[in-house]
């Protein structure tokens, strides 16, 4: 099921299906970022300059994180941003000798590295997801 929004961004009008977005990021500066699924372009929505789109996306995030049991969304604090990620859309996980888990957002290029000591809840949820989805366990 699609969840389309219409938004103005950098003097262009976009129609975006938020159900196709795999991750959202927000900081303490009232901005929400996400990456377009087709090309990986980062969209940064500011509360002051685009309040309607900001509220639409915030409402969508609230809906998917509280009322969507079929998806496996996880909130992760990483490098001073809160990421909301649909784990079902990830396809590679790496664990290093320090037990940190690394993965890449499907539409982003930067790695996300989760440390078991600093982000225990997200770390545990990711390990559970990996085991349930793949049947494999990471040490």
Q: Please, what CATH class does the domain formed by 4-66 belong to?
A: mainly beta
CB 104 within 8 A of CB 35: no
> Which pLDDT band, with edges at 50, 70 and 90, does 1 fall under?
low
- What lies within 8 Å, CB to CB, of 116 at 6+ separation is 99, 100, 123
Q: Considering the entire predicted model, what is its pTM?
A: 0.80
Nearest to 125 by CA among 98, 78, 94, 85: 85
pLDDT > 80? residue 19:
yes
All structural domains of the chain with their residue ranges: 4-66, 87-134
- At 135 the three-state DSSP class reads coil
Q: What is the pLDDT of residues 86-131, one digit of tens each?
A: 888 888 999 999 999 999 987 777 789 999 998 888 899 899 999 9
* Spatial contact of 116 and 100, defined as CB atoms under 8 Å apart: yes
pLDDT of residue 88: 87
**Residue 63 to residues 18, 56, 121, 122, Cα–Cα distance (Å):** 12, 11, 21, 19
Alpha-carbon span 93 to 127, nearest angstrom: 10
Instruction: With cut-offs at 50, 70 and 90, classify the pLDDT of residue 2.
Output: confident
Backbone angles phi, psi at 33, to 5 degrees: -115, 145
């Amino acid at each position: 099921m699609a969840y389309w929004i219409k938004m103005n961004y950098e003097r262009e009008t976009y129609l975006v299906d938020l159900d196709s977005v795999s991750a959202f990021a927000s900081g303490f500066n009232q901005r929400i970022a996400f990456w377009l699924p087709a090309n990986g372009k980062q969209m940064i929505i500011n509360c002051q300059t685009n309040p309607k789109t900001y509220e639409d996306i915030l409402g969508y995030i609230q809906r998917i994180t509280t009322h969507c049991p079929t998806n496996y969304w996880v909130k992760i604090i990483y490098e001073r941003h809160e990421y909301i990620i649909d784990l079902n859309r990830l396809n590679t996980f790496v664990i290093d000798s320090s037990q940190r888990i690394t993965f890449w957002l499907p539409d982003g290029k930067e790695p996300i590295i989760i440390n078991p000591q600093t982000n225990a809840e997200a770390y545990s949820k990711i390990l559970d997801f990996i085991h349930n989805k793949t049947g494999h366990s990471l040490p």
